[in-house]
Amino acid sequence: MIIEDDHFLSSLMKARLEKEGFMVVQAFDGEEALQMLKAEIPALVILDLIMPKVTGFEVLQMISITPQLDKVPVVIVSNLAQDSDIEKARQLGAREYFIKVKISIDDLVGKIKSLVV
């Protein structure tokens, strides 16, 4: 599941992951993501932190306290680059943290493969 309000970036990640054989669903804000997470448990979540309606931190917190979801690996892809934001995400259970301006799609796909397989 990709939870990202930037439709272009979300579509790029989706296309690449589908090319690698993954089935991908998308949510474009935190509220939509929470509804989708109640309906289906994904194998992995790619999560932006700055989103409308419900923030990525709030989504991450909900994932971390929900028994059916707390084992789902979460990979953060965000523009937030402060150490405090990275630490907060890790404390809430994020397995990996990528900063958008420094991201390599190959690194992201490699990390996803290592977490899902």
Answer whether 3's CB lies under 8 Å from 14's CB: no
**What pLDDT, on the 0 to 100 scale, is given for residue 101?**
87
- Count of beta carbons in the 10 Å neighbourhood of residue 34: 18
Q: How confident is the model at residue 116 (pLDDT cuts 50, 70, 90)?
A: confident
28-55 pLDDT, tens digit per residue, is 999 999 999 999 999 999 999 999 899 9
The larger pLDDT score, comparing residue 104 to residue 23, is at: 23
- How large is the average pLDDT for residues 109-116? 91
Give me the sign of the Cα torsion angle 108, 112, 114, 115. Answer: positive
59-100 pLDDT, tens digit per residue, is 999 999 999 999 999 999 999 999 999 999 999 999 999 999
The model's pTM is: 0.93
* Domain spans in the chain, listed from the N-terminal domain onward: 2-110
Q: How confident is the model at residue 4 (pLDDT cuts 50, 70, 90)?
A: very high
Up-side HSE of residue 8: CA atoms within 13 Å toward CB?
1
**Class (C level, CATH) for 2-110:** alpha beta
